Amino acid sequence: MSGHTAPSLLLNDEQKMLSKTAHEFIRERGPAARIRTFRDSNDEVGFSRELWNEMAELGWLGLQIPVEYDGLGLGFFDLCVVLEQSGRELMPEPFVSTLLLGTQTLLLGGTEAQKKALLPGIAGGETLVTVGYDEAGSHRDSSNVVTVAKTSADGFELSGEKVQVLDGHLSDRIIVSATTSDSAYTLFLVDPTQSGVTITRQSRIDGLNAAIVRLEGVSVTVDDIVGELDGGASLLQAVCDRAAVGLSAQMLGASEQAFADTIEYLKEREQFGVPIGSFQALQHRAVSVYTELALTRSVVLAAARAIDEAPDDIARLASLAKATASETFMHAAKEAIQMHGGIGVTDEHDIGLYIKRAQATYMTFGKPSQHRQRWAELHGY
C-alpha cells in the first residue's frame, strides 16, 4: 500500500444486493454443467444469447458503461461484483471478450463516433466486440506483432493472423493489433464481414469460445484506428491491466465455488465409516485454500477499487491481483480434484471443468511469473 490508509474493500448495500441477485440468477440459469452441453452438442454459438440478453435487461452488461452510451454509469468495481459471480459457474458468455477487452479498449481509446456506434449495443446485449492480440508466436514473445498495417490510398491494409480470439466467431467488431512502423503498432477496428477476413473456430479445454482471425489485405481507414497511431502497445497494456483485474474477479468466484463444492463433498463422502472431512490431513489442506481465498479477495477488491479511484496504482495492483488469483485458482482446482478422488477426474463431474478454466486463465493476460517481474520493476528492483 502506498499510504497507511487502505482503500475501502467493502461492498456497499447496493453492491451486496447486486452480488446476491447475480449469485442466485447465475446459479439457477447458468450452471457450470452447460460447458459440457455446449461442447457435446457442437453448439454453433457456444453460449446462450438468450441469457446474455436477459443479463443486459438486468443492466449488468452496461454497469460500467457511461449513461450517455445507455449504460448505468457505475464503476469497474460494480462490474467486478457480477464478474465474480459469473466466474463461479464458469459462464462461457462473452464477459471477457466484450465487457473486458472490447469495452475497456473503447472506453480508454475509442473515438466519440466509435463509442456511440458500439457501446449502446454492448450494454443492450446485441453487440459483441472482442480484441485479437495473440498470434502464433505470442507465447514466446507477446511484444512481437507480426500482423502488419500497410499504408494504402484509403488508409491501411491489414494482413496477418490472430489466434485464440475470444468470441471471434460471433463478434460484430474485432479490434486487432498491427504494426504501423518498425517499432510500434496500432489498434484497428475491423468488421469481420469485410472481404479478406476469414474466421475459423478453435476448440479449447476451458469452454470459452475462440477463433483464428485471418486478415488478408483488409482495408481500414484512419477512422478505424482505436487510440493513437503507433500507440497500440500502451493502450493494449492499459486494457490488459483492467481485463486482468476483471478476470481475477472471475477467478476468485471460480475458486470459491470449487472450494465450496469440495467442502460439501468432504462433509458427505464417507470412508472408514466417517466423513473424510474429519481427517486432519484434508482439513489442513482445505484451510490452506481458504486462507488463499481470503488473501485473493482482498487483492482483487483493492485492484478493482484502484481502477475507479487510484489510476497511479492500477498497474501494480493489477499485477498483484492477477498473479495471486492465478495461483489461488490453480491451487483450489488441483486440491478440489484430489479431494474428490476418482470421481474428480471423470468427465461426468463438474469439478474437472474448473481445472481446465484455471489453466486457461493462468495463461491469459500474463502468467504469474510475468506479473512478478513487472511488480519487481515497479518497485525499483
Return the residue of 108, 233, 286, 310 that touches other proteins, per CB under 8 A: 286
Q: Which stretch binds other proteins (CB under 8 A): 107-115, 217-225, 353-361, 371-379?
A: 371-379
Please, are residues 293 and 252 in contact by the beta-carbon 8 Å criterion?
Answer: yes
The three three-digit cell numbers of residue 121, written as one number? 449495443
| CA pair distance 376, 366, nearest whole angstrom | 15
Return the residue of 136, 295, 343, 345 that touches other proteins, per CB under 8 A: 295
Q: Spell out, one character per residue from 304 to 333, where the chain touches other proteins: x when CB under 8 A holds, - when not.
A: ----------------x--xx---------
Where would I find the H helices in the chain?
13-29, 34-40, 49-57, 76-88, 103-109, 112-124, 232-268, 280-309, 314-340, 351-363, 368-378
Q: Which stretch binds other proteins (CB under 8 A): 102-110, 179-187, 224-232, 271-279?
A: 271-279
Q: Which of 233, 230, 128, 112 is closest to 172 using CA atoms? A: 128
Nearer to other proteins, 166 or 266 (CB): 266
The reply to whether 140 sits near other proteins by the rule CB under 8 A is no
Nearer to other proteins, 101 or 306 (CB): 306
| CA pair distance 281, 267, nearest whole angstrom | 14
The distance of closest approach from Cβ of residue 357 to other proteins in the complex, given in angstroms and rounded to an integer, is: 22
The distance of closest approach from Cβ of residue 381 to other proteins in the complex, given in angstroms and rounded to an integer, is: 5
73: left (phi over 0), alpha (psi -120 to 50) or beta: left
The distance of closest approach from Cβ of residue 78 to other proteins in the complex, given in angstroms and rounded to an integer, is: 18
Total chain residues near other proteins (CB under 8 A): 42
Nearer to other proteins, 140 or 284 (CB): 284
Return the residue of 4, 41, 151, 195 that touches other proteins, per CB under 8 A: 4
Distances (CA, A) of 13 to 7, 48, 81, 205: 17, 30, 12, 37
Return the residue of 63, 301, 314, 315 that touches other proteins, per CB under 8 A: 301
Q: Which of 250, 226, 35 is closest to 133 using CA atoms? A: 226
| CA pair distance 303, 322, nearest whole angstrom | 9
Nearer to other proteins, 53 or 370 (CB): 370
Return the residue of 153, 280, 312, 342 that touches other proteins, per CB under 8 A: 280
Question: Angle at the Cα of 305 (from 304 to 311), degrees rounded to 5?
Answer: 95
- What percent of the chain is helix, strand and coil (3-state, nearest 5)? 55, 15, 30
Return the residue of 24, 154, 228, 377 that touches other proteins, per CB under 8 A: 377
Q: Which stretch binds other proteins (CB under 8 A): 92-100, 145-153, 192-200, 260-268?
A: 260-268
| CA pair distance 348, 346, nearest whole angstrom | 5
Return the residue of 67, 287, 343, 363 that touches other proteins, per CB under 8 A: 287
Nearer to other proteins, 221 or 278 (CB): 278
Q: Specify the DSSP class assigned to residue 95.
A: I
The reply to whether 338 sits near other proteins by the rule CB under 8 A is no
Q: Contact positions toward other proteins, by CB under 8 A? A: 1, 4, 6, 8-10, 263, 266-267, 274-275, 277-280, 283-284, 286-288, 290-291, 294-299, 301-302, 320, 323-324, 369, 372-373, 375-377, 379-381
